[in-house]
Amino acid sequence: MIGGAPTTVQADVVASTLRLVAATSVSPAAEPAAKALACILDAHGFTVTVDDWGNTMGHLDFGPGPTVLFDAHVDTVEVGDLSRWTHDPAGEVVGDRIVGRGVVDTKGPLAAAITAAHGLAGHPGFCGRLVISGSVDEELAEGPSLGRILDQVTPDVVVIGEPSAGTLRIGQRGRAEVEVEIIGTASHSAFPEAGINAVEVMAEAIIALRGLPLKQDPHFGAGLLTLVSIRSEPYPSQSTVPSRCVAVFDRRTVVGESDLSILEEIRAVVEPVARAHGAGSDIRPARARWRTWRGHDVDVPVYAPAWFQDPEQWPVADVLAALRRNDSGARTGTWQFCTHGSESAGRRGIPTVGFGPGDPGQAHTADESMSLAELCAGVEGYRAIFAALLAER
């Protein structure tokens, strides 16, 4: 009951959320939250495992049947400028809202899933296995850590616990980071004609890329290409025409595009510009490199494909019907941002849906928060989803 004495469900999910939020876990230093999660899972009756990357998994066995994997990441972005927070980023309840870094993205959804699953234990009519994972380092690259989990769990269906404002998400845009390098020739800046200014060539390439036609999609609209950073060498430059310039572009993709196709379309624009000035060029995927809290070194291209699930087919139709038994207004939608679903659905073709309490617009903001009503509705939503996917047939 929101606004009065807390119900057992509300008290449980709020306590778990606050415990996870208090355990700071800025990527890749997720150890405190991973250990807090292990304790919470154990207290809720799960068998707990932690893999070599530091992903924490809780297992509930209902006997022979399908394997359902729920995943929400335990890592967060930085708190940022503390002066912009009016409440404690380490977590607190303020009136009818819960505030803190990670409450929405995605420690609240993770806590809600655990409370929901605990409510199913011991009830008849379920079969199969439910695995709840708290993956690491999603904020550094979408997909790789879930891929490590998928290698171990091999699920029949995946539920992604990102905030969705209570909407069942059945797809998302993909994301890639592309490095465009121009290789010019250095010279003294008193004699610029003796060199090839890589920055000036890059400026022309950037303008040319503005005219790049991007694929349209009925569910996601057009793809996007956004310049996000640029640097030149030598830096700082002392009377030297820059010989190299590297620009990084964020490329939001739609279904049907691949890592190779997006590189080729950019290459087709940049290479002629570079050649016209006698410069070289190199178009390549940007790479993400980090060490997980358990000491595993990761080095991966930044690419996460788009995906979309048929709303008329399993699991979407079954899950939506289950949600509508609690909320007649439940509907499907898509995410415009990238999630771990790129790994399960986009790369591996595993049936995947997304659902989570909270407004996605709260993610990464000061005073990140959701209402207690949303959090408890998330518990009910997850309970309906898990029951639908684990129901005996």
Query: Does 235 fall in a domain?
Result: yes
Q: How confident is the model at residue 7 (pLDDT cuts 50, 70, 90)?
A: low
Average pLDDT over residues 207-227: 96
Residue 244 lies in a domain: yes
Task: Please report whether residue 295 resides in a domain.
Answer: no
What is the reported pLDDT for 54? 98
Tokens matching residue 92: 């607190």
Question: Could you tell me the pLDDT band of residue 2, with boundaries at 50, 70 and 90?
Answer: very low
140: how many CB neighbours lie within 10 A of its CB?
Answer: 19
What would the pLDDT profile of 50-106 be if each residue is shown by its tens digit? Answer: 999 999 999 999 999 999 999 999 999 999 999 999 999 999 999 999 999 999 999
Residue 148 forms part of a structural domain:
yes
The pTM of the full predicted model, rounded to 2 decimals, is: 0.94
Do 310 and 282 fall into the same domain? no
What percent helix, strand, coil does the chain show, rounded to 5?
A: 35, 30, 40
Per the structure, the count of domains in the chain is: 2
Which one of 289, 315, 337 terminates a domain?
Answer: 289
Sign of CA pseudo-dihedral 334, 337, 341, 342: positive
pLDDT in tens, 222-256: 999 999 999 999 999 999 999 999 999 999 999 99
Looking at the structure, tell me whether residues 15 and 119 fall in a common domain. yes
Q: In terms of domains, do 363 and 234 share one?
A: no
Scored b (16 or more CB within 10 A) or e, 181-191 reads bbbbebbeeee
CA–CA separation, 149 and 232 (whole Å): 39
Tell me, yes or no, whether 123 lies in a domain. Answer: yes
Region for residue 119 given its phi and psi (left: phi exceeds 0; alpha: psi -120 to 50; beta: otherwise) = alpha
User: Distance between CA atoms of 345 and 130, rounded to whole angstroms?
Assistant: 18
Half-sphere exposure of 108 (CA within 13 A, CB side): 37
Asked if 153 and 160 touch (Cβ cutoff 8 Å), the reply is: no
The pLDDT confidence band at residue 123, using thresholds 50, 70 and 90, is confident
Task: For residues 166-173, give the mean pLDDT.
Answer: 97
What are the tokens at 33?
């939250």
Same domain, 228 and 322: no
Over the Cα atoms of the chain, what is R_g?
23
Residue 6 has pLDDT above 60, yes or no: no
236 CB-near residues (< 8 Å, 6+ apart): none
Average the pLDDT over 137-155 and give the result. 98
Residues 6 or more apart whose Cβ sits within 8 Å of residue 201: 182, 184, 245, 273, 274, 277, 279
> Do 144 and 27 sit in the same domain of this protein?
yes
User: Which of 289, 315, 346 is where one domain is finished?
Assistant: 289
Residue 314: CATH number of its domain? 3.40.630.10
Question: Are residues 310 and 164 both part of a single domain?
Answer: yes
Whether pLDDT at 4 is above 50:
no
Tell me: the pLDDT tens digits for 181-199? 999 999 999 999 999 999 9
Residues 60 and 159 in one domain: yes
Task: Report pLDDT digits (tens) over 251-287.
Answer: 999 999 999 999 999 999 999 999 999 999 999 999 9
Let me know whether 319 and 337 are in one domain: yes
List the CATH number of the domain containing 192. 3.30.70.360
Give the tokens for residue 97.
């809202």
Note whether 168 and 200 are same-domain residues. no
Identify the pLDDT of residue 5: 42
DSSP state of 76: B
> Could you tell me the pLDDT band of residue 121, with boundaries at 50, 70 and 90?
confident
Q: What is the mean pLDDT of residues 156-176?
A: 97
Query: For the segment 279-297, what is each residue's pLDDT rounded down to a tens digit?
Result: 999 999 999 999 999 999 9
Residues 357 and 246 occupy one common structural domain: no
Question: Quick one: tokens of 211?
Answer: 């005219």
pLDDT-derived band at 122, boundaries 50, 70, 90: confident
368 in a domain, yes or no?
Answer: yes
CA angle 292, 297, 298 (to 5 degrees): 90
State how far the Cα of 357 lies from the Cα of 269, in Å rounded to an integer.
42
Q: Are residues 243 and 178 both part of a single domain?
A: yes
258 versus 326: which is more confidently predicted? Answer: 258
| Mean of per-residue pLDDT scores for the chain | 96
φ, ψ of residue 209 in degrees (nearest 5): -70, -20
Which of 289, 321, 346 is the endpoint of a domain?
289
Query: pLDDT confidence of 1, banded at 50, 70, 90?
Result: very low
Whether residues 223 and 335 share a domain: the answer is no
Given a cut of 90, whether residue 392 has pLDDT beyond it is: no
Check: CB of residue 33 under 8 Å from CB of residue 46: no
**Residue 209: inside a domain:** yes
Say if 3 falls within a structural domain.
Answer: no
Q: Show the domain range for 143.
A: 8-173+306-390
